[in-house]
Chains A and B, each alone.
Chain A
Amino acid sequence: MLRTRRRQVLLGRLLTLLALAAGWQVLGSSPDADVKAVPKLSAVLAALGDELGTSALATALGETLTTTALGLVLCLLVGIPAGLILAAHPALTISSRFVIDFCRTVPPLAVIPLFLLLMGPTQRMAVSLIIAVSVWPILLQTIHGVRNVDPELLSTARSFGLPLWRRLLFVVGPASMPYVFTGIRISATLSLLLTIGAELIAGVPGLGKEILLSQSVPDRMFALITVAGVLGMALAFAVTAIESRLLAWHHVPRAAA
């Protein structure tokens, strides 16, 4: 029953994909001058095939992934401890709140010129940009998570004489994980966006720069954009997969209730 249902869903999605592909192909074949810039799907796929054979794509992909991953990991290393400290006392949370709100609402791409000026079109610049922008969701969610830990859990841990660092590691940490992961999900998407943005606008080596360089070769440009899209989807899926594995205890009881 369930398997049949799953098969139907899969079939539906496959048909949607095929319809879209057919639409693209038709659009690309159109003689209309306005859509001349759109290459046929078959040409894009051919270009993608060519790219897969070269090392240029692999290098660019590697650079983009490294920058994104480096930035995200540093966001975690900065955001989670900072969130723990700011959540330690209501006064700290309240007095830091407006600064965080200001920083996180600055449009991310607007600060690229500033970072470019300071550091040039380097990976270091892209990573710094990611930290400056994507650290806020993680920081904010950590504060929320820690402040929302059930006081009964903490009382229990204290009554058994668990020292502070053990309470942080074994109670506060896991209990705030569902909140922190929401932050990680947002930050991961934001990090990739910033990486591609820095590459595209500032010329940091990576997938975005390759897209910029192939502007005069539409087939190749569309192929690279497709790769960027797949990358974004893979990243989102990966984060969700890790989350549902680590937080099964959080999701299952809610699903059952």
Chain B
Amino acid sequence: MNATPAVQLRDLGVTYGGATGREVLRGIDLSIAPNEIVCIVGHSGIGKSTLIRCIAGLQRPTTGEVLIGGTAITAPPATLALVSQDYGRTLMPWLRVGENVRLPLRGVGLARAVQDERVAEALSVVGLVEAARSYPWQLSGGMQQRVAIARALAYRPQVLLMDEPFASVDAQTRAELEDLLLTLQRDLGITVVLVTHDVDESVYLSDRVVVVGGRPALVREIVEVPISGVRDQLTTKADPAFIACRTQVLSSIQASKDSGSAVGG
């Protein structure tokens, strides 16, 4: 395994509204290895989305830095793709599904035939080959989110960032998408950083779960998930190791809430 972390956060902090403003994140240190899948969990509104926007290079942290593949970033790096919660708002409504997937591939010096190949491949991976000629608004929510995932995959990122990617789809679709993500991550060997408020989801997907909490939010605990091999919705979620991790993450989140109120904002 490569010695350079795929993603590294050094003393990252974000304060909105200048020095006297609201401090959202403080002193976040985190190192994520290549091929690792890490979930960041915490209460809603704690600053998880801010954190992932910083990692994506969409927002400059107030303090500290983000390193992708060992290099400090100041703009969205080329090796990274982002899938966000509002899938409906990230797909271009005037482009057909295939063209949406193609959009990031245009203008990076890829031949048209190569683009076609990548688009077809990504769509077949998420099971949407038939939908290539449809418009996003003709598809269900779960299908739209699969298009957003396909677009990220076609881009062949080394790091895939996901901000609450399955939050607005139904439970059945959510389980399917979780398994799809695990399969893809294993097959393609990409690093995944996923933000969620769902504890079960975080433990099910992760190699490590990072609990953030408090105001300002700090890293409260990093929980290793000692489940090896292929995971599946039924047996993994009944595994004692899964349940132990889940309890640990849950209590850590609750503790962070208590200590957060003790700090008093």
Contacts and interface: CB of A to CB of B under 8 A. Distances in A.
A159 B93 contact: no
A162 interface: yes
Contact of A160 (B76, B84, B86, B137): B76
A141 B57 CA distance: 31
Interface in A223-257: 249-250, 252-253, 256
A73 B77 CA distance: 40
A152 B91 CA distance: 9
B107 A174 contact: no
A95 interface: no
A31 interface: no
B58 interface: yes
Dominant secondary structure at the B interface? loop
Interface stretch (A108-116, A163-171, A205-213): A163-171
A252 B78 CA distance: 35
Interface string A167-209: 0001100110100000000000000000000000000000000
B93 A152 contact: no
Most buried by B among A150, A153, A155: A155
A158 interface: yes
Nearest to B108: A161
A249 B89 contact: no
Interface string B126-159: 0000000001010000000000000000010000
Contacts of A252: 135, 137
A174 B92 CA distance: 9
Interface string B215-250: 000000000000000000000000000000000000
A59 interface: no
A215 interface: no
Contacts of A249: 93-94, 135, 137
Interface residues of B, number: 26
Nearest to A247: B94
Contact of A253 (B76, B78, B137): B137
A156 interface: yes
A157 B155 CA distance: 12
A132 B200 CA distance: 63
Interface string B74-106: 011110111010100110111000000001101
A158 B76 contact: yes
Contacts of A177: 94
Interface in A120-172: 150, 152-153, 155-163, 166, 170-171
A155 B135 CA distance: 21
Interface string B26-46: 000000000000000000000
Given A156-B82, A249-B94, A162 B89 contact: no
Given A152-B90, A171-B92, A159 B135 contact: no
A112 B221 CA distance: 74
A166 B108 CA distance: 11
Given A152-B84, A153-B89, A253-B137, A159 B94 contact: no
Contacts of B137: 249, 252-253, 256
B56 interface: yes
By CB atoms of chain B within 10 A, which of A150, A156, A161 has the most?
Answer: A156
Contact of A174 (B53, B80, B84, B94): B94
18 contacts: A150-B89, A152-B89, A153-B89, A153-B90, A153-B92, A155-B53, A155-B82, A155-B84, A158-B58, A159-B80, A159-B82, A160-B82, A161-B75, A161-B76, A162-B103, A177-B94, A250-B94, A252-B137
Given A152-B90, A256-B137, 6 more contacts: A155-B90, A159-B82, A160-B103, A166-B107, A170-B92, A174-B92
Interface of B: 53, 56-58, 75-78, 80-82, 84, 86, 89-90, 92-94, 103-104, 106-108, 135, 137, 155
For the complex of A and B, the 9 pairs showing the least CB-CB separation, nearest first, are: A160-B104, A152-B89, A159-B82, A253-B137, A249-B94, A156-B90, A174-B94, A159-B76, A161-B78
